Amino acid sequence: MTAIVKFEEQPSLPAAKLGLLLPGLGHLFTGSPLVGFWLLSQAFLLMTSAVAGFPRIHSVLFSEYGNLSAHGAISLGYWGALALLLWWAAARRIAPRKLTEDEFNSNRAIFLRQFGRNRSGLIGIAGVTFLASLTILTPLIAPFDPNTLDLTNGAVRPGWHEVQGQLHWFVMGTDQNGRDSFSRVLYGGRISLVIGLIAVSIAATIGVSIGAIAGFYGGWLDRILMWFVDLLLSLPSLVLLLAIVGIVRASGPEKIFLIVVILGFTGWMGVSRIVRSQVLSLKEQDFIQAARALGLSNGRIVFRHLIPNALAPVIVYCSLAIGGIILAEAGLSFLGLGVSPPTATWGTLVADGKERLDAPWIVIFPGLFIISAVMSFNLLGDGLRDALDPKLRGR
């Protein structure tokens, strides 16, 4: 029986009480400025959506026919959960938890400490969660319907404009058809980010299975699979993507589904290479020999012992790959082969404005959102890699 030693996560400082006023302030002034900014950015979203959404909460929650709208309900529920979470984090800063030695030395605690020290990782996760909250809270924040045309207000610059006798502030101006660019960027972000997330999960699933099979069974199966991987990798990825999307035609919501699937099916090769090399080195290790000696089936060895141990680099790769997938989807939509209009994604929004360089705000803002999303995912991936790298462990 080991003696239970109490470890504090961090000392309790009086300035932490500021967090109850506004989550994030407490962290900001007690030595965790990055975490502070992270919480502050979330708190900022919380307040923006309250100011913009609560006065017209009825139209957010109910459609014009009086039905409850799922998007509105989800975003209101998320608003409440986010508020609870933020104040819980602020309260925990005031009264830190005591940890036992085992808890302090657990993999999870080590990972969290490593990640907490990692500047790029923290900025990345702050950016990613900011965009995630922004997309979920979109129905509360977005001032207009993204697809309502108003041809009398086509391509007006950002600022105050009169719509039907009322003054409205157009944060990002309007596009050539008079649709509010800010609302379109917010709603477009939902599609772009969800496409990235689902496509990367598809790619990871395929890549992990194929890599594990190739690495575990070896021989001719390995050679054929890796030849196929090399074949796909040697083609310019965007060109292949274009060809598939262009050849297999679809329209409307089916098109989004198709693009997600195709992005997933053309993005798994990197994952499968990583998993294969991991499995090749893992399967010679003692714990796999032990599993064999215990008479476990191949399937159980692969899924319960090999894959879980090979996952860390896959997670890093995936968070780096989401950025690439977001860029690929934007490129497809820019060429007019992606998501079909009027559905907005960041790529189609840039495409919409490319003929209207006299109204540059149509192009500039969606582009900035693409950059910030891709940058956040890249920073997060770099941070995860540093935190998961065993060479840095135990410091």
Partner 1 sequence: MSRLFRRDLLLYALRKALMVIPLLIGVITLIFVLIEISPGSAVDQFINEDTTPEVRDRLMVQWQLDKPAYIRYLLMMKNVMMLDFGASMSQQRPVFDAILEFLPNTLLLSSITLLTIYPVGLVLGTLQGVRQGKPIDTGISLSSLFFYSMPSFWLALMLQLIFGRYLQLLPISGMHDAVSYEYMTNSEAFFDRLKYLVMPGVAMGVAHAAGVARYMRSSLLEVIRQDYIRTARAKGLPERVVIVRHAIRNALLPMVTLFGLSLPMVFSGSVLVEYTFAWPGMGRLIVEAIRSQDTPLLIACFFVFTLVVSFGSLATDLVYALIDPRIRFDK
274 versus 370: smaller Cβ distance to partner 1: 370
Q: Which is nearer to partner 1, 21 or 224 (CB)?
A: 224
Least distance CB 156 / partner 1 (angstroms): 18
In the bound state with partner 1, the residue whose beta carbon lies nearer, of 214 and 332, is: 332
Nearer to partner 1, 267 or 323 (CB): 323
* Binding region for partner 1 (CB under 8 A): 228, 231, 233-239, 242-244, 246-249, 323, 327, 330-331, 334-335, 337, 347, 350, 353-354, 357, 360, 363-364, 367, 370-371, 374-375, 378-379
Whole-angstrom CA distances from 329 to 26, 67, 111, 337, 376 are 39, 33, 32, 9, 17
Task: Give the shortest CB-283-to-partner 1 separation in angstroms.
Answer: 24
Running DSSP on this structure, what letter comes out for residue 179?
-
CB of 370 to partner 1, least distance (A): 5
Task: State the minimum distance, in angstroms, from the CB of residue 387 to partner 1.
Answer: 17
Task: Return the number of the residue (160 or 220) whose C-beta is nearest partner 1.
Answer: 220
CA-closest candidate to residue 382, choices 315, 324, 307: 315
As given in the structure block, the two tokens for residue 355 are: 């003929």
Q: How far is the CB of 378 from partner 1 (least distance, A)?
A: 6
Distance separating alpha carbons of residues 234 and 237, to the nearest angstrom: 8
Angstrom distance (rounded) from CA 373 to CA 368: 9
| Rounded least distance, CB 256 to partner 1, Å | 18
Query: b/e string for 220-237 if b means 16 or more Cβ within 10 A?
Result: eebeebbeebeebeeeee
Beta bridge partners of 159: 170
Q: Closer to partner 1 at the Cβ: 13 or 335?
A: 335
